[in-house]
Structure 1
Amino acid sequence: MRICSQLDVHEAELLTSMVGSMRELLLEREAAAPHDELSELTGIRTGHSAPPTDLTLGRLLPDFHRPDQDRELSADVVNGRFNGALRSVHEPHIIDAKLTAAQVVLDTVPPHGGDLALTEEQAMEWLTALNDVRLALGAMLGISEDTPDQLPADHPHAAHLDVYHWLTVMQELLVESLM
């Protein structure tokens, strides 16, 4: 099964730029992970135990558990040791998966626009990367339930909101194609 579409040159450039920027954010986070001697001995990679302070990375790499999800655990346990331990063990693998998806997009997007033909596996990676780019852009724009569908043309985020909606449509069409 192949999923086929066409991208114009501006769409291809925009996707390449956005996915590349997100990839760079993730690579910076990965490179800044603390050095762990036990990790070197065991081969088990570890990452940060603290969540990202950057809003965009925070949306891409959220905590595993929030205090409002379980009233039985105290907030200090959930926010401290529990989330820190889970993050340290799992964040490297989550970053790897996001980087793999981003690379598939970068490898398959036609650089000057044109025909796009994806295998089912590539389409799944595209879904992951499109979702990540949407999440990152949504965090930067402060997208919420109250965000209008359109902003006035002279609003500084109007074009960015249009891109957010375009990514949403791409994601929906890809999901429909895969179903």
Structure 2
Amino acid sequence: MQPWKKKKSLMRPVKFVTRFEPIEREVIGDLTATVSEAIIQRAQSAPKDELAEMMGMAAGHKHAPEDPSLARLFPDFEKPGDEEFEGDNSLLRSLHEQDIARAKLANLQVLGTALGPTGGVEVSLDEQEAQAVIAALNDVRLYIAAAETLHEGLMADKDAVLEWLAFAQDSLLQALVD
């Protein structure tokens, strides 16, 4: 992968561009799909709350995910050692987890769309898309770092994949703040 670059133009909005190798594009696409599927399964497994449905509110889980990878994406709302009033964390999780999942999926979708269905290796993003891609890459990194099982080849090279994703994220962040 080439480092992200900021392209300025007098008549066009700022763009952030890079070029991926086809295998890199495939790996990011697979990882994006894996994380998206896990988030969707978590959201769909939320228990039904009749009161929330009557009020038109989304209701999520009351407990943290048991899967360590998902637990990294949906941490508790309070730090260990903070004073918790009975049920605060559960209430906050049930009220906000679905919205957080929606935002994470939207960011992952921007990343997937940027890569394109045909395996395009040239990627061009506007500023809003770049911010979404940074967040999506962060979620992919968090998920993989805590993963206990992944595709065979990825699990063997987990550290290298994490380092490469960190480079991709940092390079885009540097271009964004330049």
When normalised by structure 2's length, the TM-score is: 0.84
CA shift, 1:157, in A, is 4.8
Quick one: distance in 2 between partners of 1:120 and 1:165? 24
Q: Are the counterparts in 2 of residues 10 and 113 from structure 1 also a CA contact under 8 Å? A: no
1:107 is the counterpart of 2:113:
yes
Which residue, 2, 8, 13 being the options, matches 2:26? 13
Q: Give CA-to-partner distance per residue, 1:121-162, whole Å, 9 cap, x none.
A: 111110111000000111126xxxxxxxxxxxxxx9551110
What does residue 171 of structure 1 align with? 169
Task: Give the % identical residues.
Answer: 34
Name the amino acid aligned to 1:83. Answer: N
What does residue 35 of structure 2 align with? 22
Quick one: distance in 2 between partners of 1:90 and 1:114? 36
Alpha-carbon RMSD: 1.5
Q: Give CA-to-partner distance per residue, 1:60-107, whole Å, 9 cap, x none.
A: 100010232x3xx2xxx46x6111011000101100000000111111
What does residue 91 of structure 2 align with? 85
Q: Are the counterparts in 2 of residues 48 and 88 from structure 1 also a CA contact under 8 Å? A: yes
Name the amino acid aligned to 1:55. Answer: P
Which residue, 98, 115, 125 being the options, matches 2:104? 98
1:116 is the counterpart of 2:123:
yes
CA shift, 1:58, in A, is 0.4
Quick one: distance in 2 between partners of 1:11 and 1:113? 11
Which residue, 51, 70, 78 being the options, matches 1:65? 78
CA shift, 1:113, in A, is 3.8
Name the amino acid aligned to 1:125. Answer: A
Aligned positions, number: 158
What does residue 132 of structure 1 align with? 139
Q: Are the counterparts in 2 of residues 11 and 113 from structure 1 also a CA contact under 8 Å? A: no
What does residue 144 of structure 1 align with? none
Quick one: distance in 2 between partners of 1:173 and 1:108? 16
Name the amino acid aligned to 2:112. Answer: L
What does residue 146 of structure 1 align with? none
Quick one: distance in 1 between partners of 2:166 and 2:57? 36
Q: Are the counterparts in 2 of residues 19 and 106 from structure 1 also a CA contact under 8 Å? A: yes
Name the amino acid aligned to 1:161. Answer: D
Name the amino acid aligned to 2:174. Answer: E
Which portions of structure 1, spanning 4 or more consecutive aligned residues, are displaced by more than 4 angstroms?
Answer: none
What does residue 63 of structure 2 align with? 50
